[in-house]
Amino acid sequence: MELPFLKELGESSLTDITREVPVAEEVNLDEEKETPSTWVPCRNLILLATSGAYAEVISAEAIFVGFNAEEARAYPDNDKEFVSRYNLVLEKAVASFSQPPTVKAPLVDLLKPDIIKKGIEVKAPLHLTYSCYLGGEKHCGICESCLHRRRGFKEAGVEDPTDYIQE
Ligand SMILES: [Zn+2]
């Protein structure tokens, strides 16, 4: 399902093609004081509203999200409080004769290296995961998200299986 109206919101380098996605600079999320250019206004609220509607249609019990502790440092819609509050909203947003789905964020307390280690532990196909902000077929290797991904594998002490365009 595409959400083309996100492009019309502007403001974010991830949805506005006139703005460049930052490359070759990893933002220290703990020290970031300004809104990152990669912030998409109300993105997770919009995505969860859409997925909540679909979950109701197909009677899904849960919606899983990949929120993690690292991104929650800079993006407030990635933390436990957001998930908890959103689940309260979802109870009221779903028809009373339906069982409301619950948003689950199993990685919400983990940093990237911990997520990678957990992936290894559960034999997740990490080579099939995708992180790049540019949305191409291959990871660019230099956008902020790719840099976080690279660092995560390095800090986890796990060989990075990602096929980056720029090594
Ligand atoms: Zn990238």
Q: Report pLDDT for 33.
A: 66
33 DSSP 8-state letter: -
Expressed in angstroms and rounded, the spacing between residue 163 Cα and the centre of ligand 1 is 11
Q: Report pLDDT for 32.
A: 62
Expressed in angstroms and rounded, the spacing between residue 140 Cα and the centre of ligand 1 is 4
What is the pLDDT confidence band of residue 158, given thresholds at 50, 70 and 90? very high
pLDDT higher than 90, residue 164 = yes
Higher pLDDT, 24 or 161: 161
At 120-156, the pLDDT tens digits run: 999 999 999 999 999 899 999 999 899 999 999 999 9
What gap in Å lies between CA 8 and CA 19, rounded to an integer?
13
Expressed in angstroms and rounded, the spacing between residue 89 Cα and the centre of ligand 1 is 33
At 19-66, the pLDDT tens digits run: 787 777 666 666 666 777 788 888 899 999 999 999 999 999 999 999
12 close to 38: Cβ distance less than 8 angstroms: yes
Q: Report pLDDT for 157.
A: 97
Expressed in angstroms and rounded, the spacing between residue 33 Cα and the centre of ligand 1 is 23
Expressed in angstroms and rounded, the spacing between residue 119 Cα and the centre of ligand 1 is 20
What is the pLDDT confidence band of residue 74, given thresholds at 50, 70 and 90? confident
Helices 112-121 and 144-156, interaxial angle, to 10°?
A: 60
What is the pLDDT confidence band of residue 102, given thresholds at 50, 70 and 90? very high
Q: Report pLDDT for 162.
A: 96
Expressed in angstroms and rounded, the spacing between residue 142 Cα and the centre of ligand 1 is 5
Q: Report pLDDT for 100.
A: 87
Expressed in angstroms and rounded, the spacing between residue 8 Cα and the centre of ligand 1 is 22
Expressed in angstroms and rounded, the spacing between residue 62 Cα and the centre of ligand 1 is 29
Expressed in angstroms and rounded, the spacing between residue 154 Cα and the centre of ligand 1 is 16
